[in-house]
Amino acid sequence: MARQFDVPTFYRSPVVSRVKEARRLADPRKKDLSPSVLDFGPVRFKLARHFGFCYGVENAIEIAYKALDEANGRRVFLLSEMIHNPHVNEDLQSRGIKFLRTTSGEQLIPFDELTPDDIVIIPAFGTTLEIEAHLRELGVNVEAYDTTCPFVEKVWTRSSQIAKKDFSVVIHGKHYHEETQATFSHAQSGAPAVVVRDLDETRLLTAVIRGEKDRDFFYETFKGRYSGGFDPDRDLVRVGVVNQTTMLATETTEIAALVRQALMDRYGDDGIQHFADTSDTLCYATNENQNATRALIDDGADIAIIVGGTNSSNTSHLVELCEEVMPTYFVTGPEGLLTPDAITHFDLHQKEMITSTDWLPKHRPLNVLLTAGASCPDVLLDQVMERICSWEDSPLTVEEALAPFNPVS
């Protein structure tokens, strides 16, 4: 049986949680990716089979609130945002937790102000070996409240394993993201490492692997994203690919395939010996959420609403998937849904909050695709549905909409 985490009840929901539990009981092996439909009459919400808090996030939330309970007057700090969700982080701050840094690395409180008596929570993304070492020098117990996701740690372990076999590590991720920085730190401690953002950057890297581009090209193209002393002539001979766990899993697979093929092209049949298979490091939750979103898209809808933190990488990829086929609105919660004619949402391309008008189609019945990132509380989706239904004439009640998900007597 899956572990049950002690997550505050106010993050749970009376609607979405019932739907999730009904789907779990009906499909314990998680084979059915069809959406869950909540029909309120004028509006039908199509919920993804998988979304919301994953194992790593629930683990992090449990540890953070445990730290507050056990503080006994001690100061409690988070290294940075525990997870990328403003509602969760704001609640923790309201209870007295202070952030030491921003997610971009800006120092808010100098580390040197910490004392051995302080509690410092390591976020779910983990942190770098350098920061860990500095905190230990200050006498901080970094292990006591470490919320690093086990699946992030799995990537670190796999990187270490292939490093011991003289493989270099290619990391698929956003070089500025905390998790990628942590993974890069751990990887480079045992092997040469380089970060690629996407397939286009990987194609540039594979041109170097094949010998089509020289070392100067590598240094210019990947400036600031390779480990010290990296020598492309020496360090791109034996390679393994790992990822920032919140990236598109399908893209990581394609990146690994490109690197593998480049090594085959360079070294012929022996090329397979130059590639380390690390496909077992892909995060199950990220993969499930992305596959469920694709199934949701295939089922069709008039618009998509994606709920999550604007700096959440895994949420942004769900938005990208939906944007390809329908009008999509990325909101942090129900507060963004102003009126049927105005919505405040995050524009991934402009990297800012914008307000759009005439966003909610007029025809009825209306089909709304609804899903969320891995750090989003289910209750926010309840509130989004409640907000939209409040604008409708004579919608069905929650209990009527939930009837298909009632336990079978």
Helices and strands in the chain, H and E counts = 14, 15
For the CA atoms of 289, 313, 17, 328, the dihedral, rounded to the nearest 10 degrees, stands at -80
Q: Any idea which residue has 């956003």 for tokens?
A: 174
Q: Are 84 and 309 in contact (CB under 8 A)?
A: yes
Buried b (16+ CB within 10 A) or exposed e, 192-221: bbbbbbeeebbeebbbbbeeebeeeebeeb
What region, left, alpha or beta, does residue 275 occupy, with left being phi > 0 and alpha being psi -120 to 50 degrees? beta
Residue 198 backbone dihedrals phi, psi, to 5 degrees: -160, -170
Rg (CA), the chain: 23
Cα–Cα distance, 59 to 4 (Å, whole number): 9
Cα–Cα distance, 41 to 401 (Å, whole number): 8
Buried b (16+ CB within 10 A) or exposed e, 93-125: eeeebebbbebeeeeeeebeebeeebbbbbbbb
Catalytic residue numbers read: 179
Sign of the torsion angle spanned by Cα atoms 283, 289, 291, 292: positive
Distances (CA, A) of 143 to 7, 17, 132, 290: 21, 32, 10, 32
H-type alpha helices, 228-283: 232-235, 249-267
What region, left, alpha or beta, does residue 126 occupy, with left being phi > 0 and alpha being psi -120 to 50 degrees? left
Cα–Cα distance, 100 to 114 (Å, whole number): 10
Residue 309 backbone dihedrals phi, psi, to 5 degrees: -70, 140
Q: Any idea which residue has 């694709």 for tokens?
A: 294
